[in-house]
Amino acid sequence: MLALEFPPISHLIEWPEFGPGGFNKVAATYVFAALATMLIFVVGGARPKLVPTGLQNIAEVGVDFVRNQVVMQTMGAEGLVFLPYLTCLFFFIFFSNIVSVVPGIQFSANARMAVPLILALLTWIIFNVVGVMKQGPLRYLKNSIIPPGVPVFALVLVVPIELVSHFLVKPFSLAVRLFANMLAGHLILATFATICAALFSKTLALAILPFSFALLIGLTGFEILVGFLQAFIFTILTGVYIAGTMHAEH
């Protein structure tokens, strides 16, 4: 019978400090994500060529992807002013996620709640500022908490719901979605890695080891896909929220 010893959750999400000011693996991952994002666009745009290669090619593909799949789909041409921010947001989250499959790290920094919450609050600030600037403070508040066509007698119920939904639920759900998906993926990979390690130690289990190992490889590939999708979902929802405040609903 296999003796499986799964690491405690605290071992998976808490990392010892190895530098001043509480610097640990999570902080190092975010530093890497920020530097990698800057490297792509600073180096890629330093000497642009007519036929892009290397980092310039990655930068142009990334910008075109965010422009066509996020900005134009949610805000249209009017939203191109937000293209630099949304592009950097996408790459930063993607690099923070993708390290979960790197040997020696094997942990997505976004499986901790702090930075996803900060990014969500930044989105919250941006779409509220845009709403106030585009509609004016009173009109923006009215349009945010009073949906068009709602009967007057229902406002006593609808207004509190819309107030909580617009100003509290949106940023919180945005942060939780990123945090929970990356943490769940990390826990699944850790579980199957533990099973494979246990099978390696049991001669009688060698017959099923290839299947377990193949499943682990498949889950690793799926984790890469999830890391990309979560970066894309966070970015496109940011675009949707900004677009929703650019114009009053009719």
Block means of pLDDT (10 residues each) for the chain, 250 residues, are 55 65 82 93 78 80 94 92 95 90 77 90 95 91 84 83 88 91 74 63 56 68 85 95 79
Provide the pLDDT for residue 202.
58
Provide the pLDDT for residue 119.
95
Provide the pLDDT for residue 147.
81
Q: Give 64-73's long-range contacts (Cβ < 8 A, gap of 24+).
A: 65/90, 66/90, 66/235, 69/232, 69/236, 70/232, 70/235, 70/236, 70/239, 71/239, 73/236, 73/239
CA gap 27, 33 in Å, rounded: 10
Question: Under 8 Å CB-to-CB from 42, ≥6 apart: which residues?
Answer: none
Q: In the chain, where do the E strands start and end? A: none
230 with 178: CB under 8 angstroms?
A: yes
CA gap 28, 18 in Å, rounded: 10
Provide the pLDDT for residue 250.
46
The two tokens of residue 25 are 């693996």
Question: Model pTM?
Answer: 0.83
